[in-house]
Amino acid sequence: MVLFRCDGNRECVGWGVIASVIIGVITALLRITGIIATTPAFLWVVFGVAVGYLAVLLAAYLLREQPVACSGSGLSALLTGILGSILLSVVLLAIPFAATSIVGAVLVGLLLLFFSLIFTASACLVKCRASA
Between vectors from CA 108 to CA 79 and to CA 57, what angle results, nearest 5°?
A: 15
- State how far the Cα of 130 lies from the Cα of 132, in Å rounded to an integer: 6
Q: Residue 79 has what pLDDT?
A: 92
Instruction: Using alpha carbons, list the distances in angstroms from residue 67 to 5, 6, 23, 53.
Output: 21, 17, 33, 20
pTM passes above 0.95: no
- Whether 5 and 128 have beta carbons less than 8 Å apart is answered as no
- State how far the Cα of 11 lies from the Cα of 40, in Å rounded to an integer: 35
Q: Does residue 1 have a pLDDT over 60?
A: no
- State how far the Cα of 12 lies from the Cα of 8, in Å rounded to an integer: 9
- Taking only the tens place, the pLDDT of each residue in 2-57 is 444 445 567 888 899 999 999 999 999 999 888 888 889 999 999 999 999 999 98
- Taking only the tens place, the pLDDT of each residue in 42-86 is 999 999 999 999 999 888 888 876 666 666 778 889 999 999 999
**What is the largest distance, in Å, between two alpha-carbon atoms of the chain?**
50
- Taking only the tens place, the pLDDT of each residue in 94-128 is 988 777 789 989 999 999 999 999 999 999 888 88
- Whether 120 and 20 have beta carbons less than 8 Å apart is answered as yes
